[in-house]
Chain A
């Protein structure tokens, strides 16, 4: 055996010019396959753990997915609001441990503005029960103070102490600016890899006050503009006259005991004073991910196809090289090598090349991950994990080795057959 390993090693070294191409194609396809899998699982994980620790999300009657999308991912608006009385009714129930009110619908330069209370920073969890951490300043949304998600702060270039102005409506079109209500940045959060990164948190009371200020009774855009001019000179604060908001978009609940979760959900869904929907975020997140699944599967299938093509390339190279090796095989045979030795030698070489390709691929992938991790985190907010292989990845690696073995077996068997019939008297 050790003889064959030595021979295979020297043979590979001798043929390195052609084999290096096979090696590169295998290793690049391994990078692609494992990279896609790693990215996919990271995105799935960060997606399905966008919110954890929250037992129920409650909003006006709607579908489960739209409620989740609007309240957590800030995609779309809820068509209805929930009245503040209803929020107070449920948040003060015996079986409810904590509650977070959420008001959405405003944006600032493309980042969604979330009206909430400090409860948010205390109870909101993501990933494996991770709390939100403050990077700079403090998580304070009193009055005209606001807290920025990591990406929002970075993209907007705000730092603690800066002033900013909130716009009504999502997106960049600032058709109505609450220009007389400048907010001050109180704190910036750590990167979480969740929609929190792209949010701006303000006090739900202040947000409601601004809205009622603008849309009081007879609302006229031209008047608003006039008033904006008039107000331009003096600072205008509502802090002293804060009242409870009339309504909110949705609220998050944490229960005292998980056993009361289902009955509470039913109670909310059957609440007669106001049509409501209560969802368990974990379940709805998985529902949502099911929608994305065909896309991720397509990605994996494409990378497997790329890998098969690379393997086919290696296979072709080895098969072609066999015809040049008839002479070498008869020399080995004359020097005492059995047909089984020839089989082993060719198998070791093919398998060796594929293994080398896999190892190179893995090294390249990890080097790439280390190199691009900061960029991926900063630019995309994706916290990719550079850990040991996941079960899926180990499965893929096993599949690769199996495929490599099969690819090695065919030329090995062919040369085994050849070597049985090879004549020691080769005219050349």
Chain B
């Protein structure tokens, strides 16, 4: 699913290397917990994986596609089709309703739209189903402006958006850090449940090691290098 080889990255020539990863492999369907404090190169790694930036050296393969070899616009299309992204906070477009926010990815990705249609379900029904799974329902709420929601609700909407249209990889960048403890637990469980349902690979970034028990692989990023702390063989590819 994800394969990184001989990767090194620095902002400018002559700068200190921010990231130096010899090898990282993530199997399809794996749930990966990435532990990394600020300054560990975590942001850089996520930007590289999502194709926002490209490395000078090394290769990054996602779904057997070497994304750093793609043209910028193709990387954008690839990201739209195959990746869901959840931010730490402020996930929603303020001027769109809850439902519109969830539906946003399929406005830009035909592939994700088609995937929903292939299941025989209308896109809007699928969006509503996901929202219902995370405990958000009722036309009042769905038509609310995104800014009227609580932080917890916003994060759940963001999760639905990332999941809609079943992208193969979901990157969640400290999605729980703005939630209180009970909500954190519930959020992770919902996310994992949907990911399992659709065989989605999850890259979950956090520094809260209490949650490592839910994941099949735990890796730590320290000074730009990856250290594997735990790998449970889940079979697969």
Query: Which residues of A line the B interface, CB within 8 A?
Result: 3, 7, 10-11, 13-15, 327-328, 331-341, 420, 422-428
Whether B107 sits at the interface, judged by CB under 8 Å, is: yes
**A427 vs B100: C-alpha distance when bound (angstroms):** 24
- A3 close to B107 (CB less than 8 A): yes
Known: A3-B108, A13-B95, A338-B76. A424 touches B47 (CB 8 A): yes
- B90 close to A425 (CB less than 8 A): no
Whether B199 sits at the interface, judged by CB under 8 Å, is: no
- A423 close to B85 (CB less than 8 A): no
Whether B29 sits at the interface, judged by CB under 8 Å, is: no
**A276 vs B137: C-alpha distance when bound (angstroms):** 95
**A78 vs B112: C-alpha distance when bound (angstroms):** 87
**A333 vs B52: C-alpha distance when bound (angstroms):** 9
Count CB-based A-B contacts (< 8 Å): 80
Q: Which residues of B contact A337 (CB under 8 A)?
A: 76, 80, 108
Closest to A2 in B: B107
Query: Which residues of B line the A interface, CB within 8 A?
Result: 42-43, 46-47, 50, 52-53, 72-73, 76-77, 79-81, 85, 87-96, 100, 104-105, 107-109, 112, 161, 173
- A336 close to B43 (CB less than 8 A): no
- B73 close to A332 (CB less than 8 A): no
Instruction: Please give me the 3 A-B residue pairs with the lowest Cβ-Cβ distance, nearest first.
Output: A336-B80, A14-B95, A336-B108
8 contacts between A and B (CB under 8 A): A14-B94, A333-B76, A335-B104, A336-B104, A336-B109, A338-B77, A339-B72, A420-B72
**A15 vs B94: C-alpha distance when bound (angstroms):** 10
Closest to A3 in B: B107
- A424 close to B52 (CB less than 8 A): yes
Known: A334-B50, A335-B85. A11 touches B95 (CB 8 A): yes
- B89 close to A336 (CB less than 8 A): no
Which one of A14, A336, A339 lies within 8 Å of B105 (CB-CB)? A336
Closest to A4 in B: B107
**Chain A proximity of B86: nearest CB distance (Å):** 9
- A425 close to B46 (CB less than 8 A): yes
- B73 close to A428 (CB less than 8 A): no
Which one of B53, B77, B94, B112 lies within 8 Å of A328 (CB-CB)? B94
Interface majority SS on A: helix, strand, loop or mixed?
helix
Which one of B43, B73, B112, B173 lies within 8 Å of A340 (CB-CB)? B73
**A332 vs B50: C-alpha distance when bound (angstroms):** 13
**A335 vs B43: C-alpha distance when bound (angstroms):** 18
Q: Which residues of B contact A425 (CB under 8 A)?
A: 42-43, 46-47, 87, 173
- B52 close to A336 (CB less than 8 A): no
Q: Which residues of A contact B85 (CB under 8 A)?
A: 334-335, 424
Known: A3-B107, A328-B93, A425-B43. A336 touches B79 (CB 8 A): yes
Known: A14-B95, A336-B108. A423 touches B76 (CB 8 A): no
Closest to B173 in A: A425
- B90 close to A428 (CB less than 8 A): yes
Closest to B161 in A: A335
Closest to A425 in B: B43
- A339 close to B90 (CB less than 8 A): no
**A339 vs B95: C-alpha distance when bound (angstroms):** 20
- A332 close to B77 (CB less than 8 A): no
**Chain B proximity of A331: nearest CB distance (Å):** 6
**A336 vs B77: C-alpha distance when bound (angstroms):** 7
**A335 vs B72: C-alpha distance when bound (angstroms):** 16
**A341 vs B79: C-alpha distance when bound (angstroms):** 14
- B79 close to A426 (CB less than 8 A): no
Closest to A338 in B: B76
Q: Which residues of A contact B92 (CB under 8 A)?
A: 331
Q: Which residues of B contact A427 (CB under 8 A)?
A: 88
**A422 vs B96: C-alpha distance when bound (angstroms):** 21
Closest to B42 in A: A425
Q: Which residues of A contact B93 (CB under 8 A)?
A: 328, 331-332
- Since A7-B96, A425-B43 are in contact, a sample of 14 more A-B pairs with Cβ atoms closer than 8 Å, ordered by chain A residue number, is A10-B95, A14-B94, A331-B87, A333-B76, A335-B104, A336-B105, A336-B112, A341-B108, A423-B52, A424-B87, A425-B42, A425-B47, A425-B87, A426-B87
- B72 close to A327 (CB less than 8 A): no
**A3 vs B113: C-alpha distance when bound (angstroms):** 14
**Chain B proximity of A36: nearest CB distance (Å):** 37
Closest to A423 in B: B47
Q: Which residues of B contact A426 (CB under 8 A)?
A: 87
Q: Which residues of B contact A423 (CB under 8 A)?
A: 43, 47, 52-53
**Chain A proximity of B148: nearest CB distance (Å):** 12
**A102 vs B159: C-alpha distance when bound (angstroms):** 90
**A425 vs B94: C-alpha distance when bound (angstroms):** 18
**A3 vs B80: C-alpha distance when bound (angstroms):** 15
- A336 close to B95 (CB less than 8 A): no
**Chain B proximity of A81: nearest CB distance (Å):** 78
Known: A327-B90, A424-B46. A332 touches B96 (CB 8 A): no
- A10 close to B96 (CB less than 8 A): yes
**A337 vs B43: C-alpha distance when bound (angstroms):** 20
